[in-house]
Amino acid sequence: MSHRATRLYRKSSGVYWLRIVLPRGITTSRRSATEASASNTDPTSPRLISPPGEQSSCTSGAAHCVAPQTPPNRLEIRRSLRTTSCKKATTLISIINAALTLAPPASWEMTVSKLLGDFGCGWTLPGGLSVNDDDDQRRLKQFFEDEPAFREAALKAVQQAAMAAAPLAQLVQVAQPAVVNSPVGPTTSNTSGTTPATHTTPPGAVTTGTTALPQHPMRLNDARAWFKQRRQAQAARKNGRGRTVKDQDGELANLGEFLEASLGPDPWVHDIQTHHLASYLDMIAQRPGKHLGENGEATPLSGLTLERRTSTLATFFKMLFEVGNAHFRNPADGLASLRQEFVSQGKDAMQSYAAYHDAQIKLIFSPLDYLLGNRSPDKFWMSLIAAHTGVRLSEILTRPVNDVRVDEDGIWYLAIPAGKTRNSVRIIPIPNPLIALGFIEYVEHVRALPATQLFPQLNLQSESAQSKPGNKQSEAYGAYLDGRGLTDRRLTFHSFRHTVVNALLDNNTPVHLSMQICGHEAQEEAVRRKLITEKEAASVHMRTYAQADLPRLGRANALVPMKQALESSVQLPICYPALKIAADIVREHVRKVGPKCVAGWPGQSKRYMAKMESRFRTLCLAQGLTEEHIHVPICQQD
């Protein structure tokens, strides 16, 4: 016997229902929804489905109409599909129609119930109570009698019309806080016979026994606080800085503001889906970055910045899913292709950084201009160290003075135990040209003050220094380049790193040795040059290059080949004797005034600036240096 097409309609709550009118003479094991509604006279029974006065609309396919009244003496089946998604509802209806075509009318109700149960439309409430449709008033009433705190909270929510005709899972979600501190709270039965997994319950999490919610539902702000606490603990264990934790928390705060339009303020974490995150990333991808293009307008955020922000979302939701049990899945897993796109954009942008050539190096390190433009030791030494070793700016500025060390063979090196990435944990030999400039003399001078930081006049405890170390020095270096006529925006402080990488590979330095010195950028440049394949770059040997400098059996001092590679590859066309005189003048101005260290001299003092220039020229001429060695005019740039 064929049946009428199953009718699909949506209630004012947004939840889709199905309605099947049975043939005449067919009975059901329960009353129809219309009969149940008419016979229910208990004023205290919470009407979760079809409360009085609610208007319904129905759809058959895509058309909407008023829900039809059941003819006299005709029975029907009505079930909530427990979804507000039209796509999911129509899919369920198609499956049900196909099943009813093959089933006898007497078994239609059983078939519908089984199908909806198989597709997750039933719940198991605290205490093991099974609820398979929304009009099961008797069993629901029994549940509220067993859990009076739930009953009071639910009735209050319905009276305020906040949860009228809402799915029971949402109602329990509202009622749960009322009993979470109760001496006798709801219990969750475990009928599977297996030992439940142990999970870390985040602060602020609401534990529920419904299968329609994750084990520990959380609001976004509570999840942010929990995530931040765990990340801070991880950073403390690794002796890292708080920059990443602060940036990640700010990113999640921005996400919360963005989601207000679609999910409301402080949404539940399990309501956040992949399409929400993708829309957020699309939005921030259109924001202007801090760099200016050739036309003077701000450029969009770089691919590396977008990848880093995507990584924050992935880490956050992965931890909430795997550790916090606050989501059914990790919604950031669906961002893999988008994240890879950002990575590719970032690699393309990295290629836009230009390495310095000889004429530019001469302009930058023109001795007189370099001294007057970089009077403090941090600005004076940071460029020289980076130009000789390729070390990052933040790694230079944040080093304690004791990180400049000498090994048993008399080789001086810079220890970098906490850098930007895990592979930044490495040691970098200090080449002889840098020692000839007086760098070790400066280090010993700082130790004798005494001071603990390599550049003791810097306040590394300030909020800006903690979040973005080197930001001020980077801006000052950019202004110095502009003053020297180097206005190409591809030339930055990071260009020193590219210069060293290119010099190492141009000199046929083995890739693994270049990677020990300059990290992953040497690897990426080697792939671009086709010195190694991408498969070789991903090998265990390449991924563990940072441990190659550790002593081991049958291996000579690993610093020796690294130092030889730097000294033979990086040969800068600068006047070392004149820069040594400038370094001595800078060192003399590093001193202690009371408990504080001070350095340099103010550029506004024209008289003192003229005095230092005169002194510098006199010392250079005394060593037989000419004006050509002292000052490189800007017109020499190619």
Return the pLDDT at 614.
95
Which residues have C-beta within 8 Å of that of residue 206, sequence separation ≥ 6? Answer: 173, 176, 177, 180, 216, 217, 218
| Together in a domain, 472 and 340 | no
Angle at 597 between CA 594 and CA 600, to 5 degrees: 125
Locus of tokens 């005169």: 614
Asked if the model's pLDDT at residue 105 lies above 50, the reply is yes
In a domain, 194, yes or no: no
More confident residue, 422 or 195: 422
For residues 527-538, give the mean pLDDT.
Answer: 80
Phi and psi for 353 in degrees, rounded to 5?
-65, 135
Q: What is the pLDDT of residue 130?
A: 44
Which of 136-150, 475-489, 572-586 shows the lowest mean pLDDT across its residues? 136-150
212 occurs within a structural domain = no
> In whole angstroms, what is the distance from residue 159 CA to residue 164 CA?
8
Q: Could you tell me if 334 and 455 lie in one domain? A: no
Q: Which of 280, 315, 350 is the last residue of a domain?
A: 350
Domain boundary residue among 149, 179, 209?
179
| Residues 368 and 331 reside in one and the same domain | no
| Whether residues 617 and 534 fall in one domain | yes
Residue 159 falls inside a structural domain: yes
Residues 540 and 392 in one domain: yes
Question: Average pLDDT for residues 549-569, to the nearest whole number?
Answer: 76
pLDDT at position 146 is 66
One domain, residues 317 and 373: no
Domain assignment present for 473: yes
Say whether 194 sits in a helix, a strand or coil.
Answer: coil
Domain contains 201: no
Residues 303 and 394 in one domain: no
Q: What average pLDDT does the structure give for the chain?
A: 74
- Write down the pLDDT at residue 412: 95
- Is there a single domain that holds both residue 165 and residue 301? no
- pLDDT, residue 301, reads 72
Residue 233 sits in which domain range? 220-350
pLDDT for residue 139 is more than 50: yes
**Residue 184 located in a structural domain:** no
Q: Domain end: 299, 324, 350, which one?
A: 350
The predicted model gives 242-250 an average pLDDT of 78
Share of the chain above pLDDT 70, in %: 66
Residue 2 CB neighbours (<10 A)? 8
Looking at the structure of the chain, the number of domains it has is 3
Q: Alpha carbon 224 to chain centroid distance? A: 12
pLDDT digits (tens, 9 = 90+) for 223-240: 999 999 888 888 777 655
Please check whether residues 145 and 251 belong to one and the same domain.
no
Q: Are residues 446 and 484 in the same domain?
A: yes
Is the pLDDT score of 175 beyond 80?
no
Report, as an integer, the average pLDDT of 18-45. 52
Taking only the tens place, the pLDDT of each residue in 372-415 is 999 999 999 999 999 999 999 988 998 999 999 999 889 999 99
Answer whether residue 482 is part of any domain: yes
pLDDT (0 to 100) of residue 197: 37
Residues 327 and 435 in one domain: no
pLDDT at 236: 75
Chain segment 296-333, per-residue pLDDT in tens: 565 667 777 788 888 889 889 999 988 888 888 888 88
pLDDT at 185 over 50: no
Instruction: Specify the DSSP element, H or E, that contains 58.
Output: strand 56-60
Tokens of 627: 């004006």
| Confidence band of 193 (pLDDT split at 50, 70, 90) | very low
User: Among 322-326, 358-362, 511-515, which range has the highest average pLDDT?
Assistant: 358-362
Q: Is residue 72 part of a domain?
A: yes
Q: Containing H/E element for 512?
A: helix 511-518
319: part of which helix (H) or strand (E)? helix 303-322
Backbone region of residue 556 per phi and psi (left: phi > 0; alpha: psi in -120 to 50; beta: other values): beta
